[in-house]
Amino acid sequence: MNLFDTDICWVYITDDGHQRRILFCADDERDAQLRPRLERGERLVYRRRFDNTFDALAHKLMLQSLSASTIDCLIRRYRKLTSDEITSIL
């Protein structure tokens, strides 16, 4: 995958009650990456779509550097979009 293609990519945060995981995946990989996690009981708490790989990877790196309270704010802000995504995966 070329970093500057206009491929659709996603950044997700899942939470299993003990830790959060920040995930990156291409559009065609998202069901394969998310469905097993959701079936194991992880909750999808954040998702964001990007039109190119570079922006998605940059966003993932930015999320990894943020404080837990800032990530909580982002999760609350995108809660409606995330709940719609869970419905479409399951």
pLDDT digits (tens, 9 = 90+) for 40-61: 999 888 988 899 888 999 999 9
Give strand pairing partners of 21. Answer: 14
Strand residues in 1-88 grouped as ranges (E): 9-15, 20-26, 43-50
The domain made up of 9-89 is a member of CATH 3.40.1440: yes
Domain map of the chain by residue range? 9-89
pLDDT at residue 21 tops 90:
yes
pLDDT in tens, 60-78: 999 999 999 999 998 888 8
Tokens of 87: 């419905």
Please tell me the pTM assigned to this model. 0.77
Q: Residue 10 CB: number of other CB atoms within 10 A?
A: 21
